[in-house]
Every structure is written in C-alpha cells, then in structure tokens.
Amino acid sequence: MVGRIGGTMTELALETLLEATMFGSGKSLSVKELSEALGYEEEEIAEALTSLQTTLKRRRGGALRIVEIGGKWAMEVRSDVADHLPKETKTEMPKKLLKAAALIAYHQPMPQSRLVDLLGQKAYDYVRELSQYGMIMRRRDGNTRRLTTTRRFSEAFGCPHTDLRKVRKWFREQVSDAGLFDDMDSEALKDVGEDGLVQATLPLEEE
C-alpha cells in the first residue's frame, strides 16, 4: 500500500509507518487521526493496527506493545519490562493533572460535569490531557460524560487492580495518606449517584 504524508507519497509498509508514528507521538491517537496524518482509509488503519499489535506481541525480546484505550491507540512499554526500568526513565504524569486524576479515581464513574464543579473550566483541559495520556476513558452519558480510570492509570499509580470498583476502593485508602484533597472542602469527598446528584459518602462495604 502507498500512503501520502504531508503531500509526499511513501512506499513504506503501513505497519512500519504506524509503529514509527505512534512511537514518536508519545500520546494516544484515534483511527481517524492516524488516517488523516498518514493518508490511508480508516479501514486500512484499523486493520493495520490489529496486525501491528500481533506483530509486536510475537516479536522476540520486544519491549513495546500497542493498546486500545477508550477508542484511541497508544504505544507503551510492556508491563513485564516496565517493572525493570529505572525510575528516572519512566514517564510521569504532569503534577497539574494529579488532582483531577485523583478525583476521577475516587468517584468513578464520575460525571465530567461534577469534576468541572470542583475544579472549574480548566477541568475540560485536564480531562482531555488525561485521555491523551491513556489514563482515563470518557463515555457519553446524556449531556455529560462518565469518567473512569484505565489499566494504564493503575500501572502509573502502582495500583494492583484494574477493576473499577477495586481501583476506587484502593485509591480511597491511599488518599488520606497522600493529602491530595487537603486544600479542598468536604464536598469533594462526597459521592455522586447515577443521577449526578451529590450523596453522602458511605463505606464501600455498604455499597
């Protein structure tokens, strides 16, 4: 297949282009974004991504893999390799995103509108960046979105769970020690029901 990048034709294999593009971007990309950037049809991109995923999985001694998170694809270090990397080489989430990430983990599935109530309009930027980092998923729910954490979030925070309920419980146990919400009022720690209304927090065992 021949693609067009920046108006220039290329005969490189699509898998090769995808691998290089995703490695160089450092963020998650949708099929549509990759299609527009590389000049291929979305169906071709989707098929090549699946093929590349298999190729990387079978690559002997390979350290990378690609994963689909919330409708976007990202390249990351395999978890069994990441555990052996020096701390200094690991990508860290910008500090400005920590509070938003913590609130989402604490309340998930959290209405985006509730996060905006707590953090103001800048919450929209935080959500977009967290999504690009592959840390959260956004699911449309009426006039807002429900925000939940991803496996990559668990890996970044050292959480041993990926199940949303278990992640939430684990994170609530960590919050008091970390002091992430020390400068916020008690409203930030009240639960939000399925209807989006704030509820009094109940012990997780009673949920």
For 43-103, the DSSP string reads HHHHHHHHHHHHHHHHSTT--EEEEEETTEEEEEE-HHHHTTS-GGGS----GGGHHHHHH
Alpha-carbon distance of 71 to 132, in angstroms, equals 11
Residue 187 has pLDDT above 70, yes or no: no
pLDDT value at position 180?
Answer: 56
Range list of H helices, the chain: 14-25, 31-38, 42-58, 79-82, 98-107, 112-119, 122-132, 151-157, 164-178
| Residues near 89 by beta carbon (within 8 Å), at least 6 away in sequence | none
Residue of higher predicted confidence among 85 and 173: 173
Q: Which of 50, 49, 51, 32 is nearest to 41 (CA)?
A: 32
Q: Which of 74, 127, 124 is nearest to 101 (CA)?
A: 127
Residue 35 has pLDDT above 80, yes or no: yes
- Show the domains of the chain with their CATH numbers: 9-79 (1.10.10.10), 95-206 (1.10.10.10)
How confident is residue 196, by pLDDT bands cut at 50, 70 and 90?
Answer: very low
Q: Which of 54, 50, 48, 26 is nearest to 35 (CA)?
A: 48
Q: Poorest-confidence range of 46-60, 105-119, 142-156, 163-177?
A: 163-177
pLDDT value at position 50?
Answer: 93
Residue 5 has pLDDT above 70, yes or no: no
Q: Provide mean pLDDT across the span 53-77.
A: 81
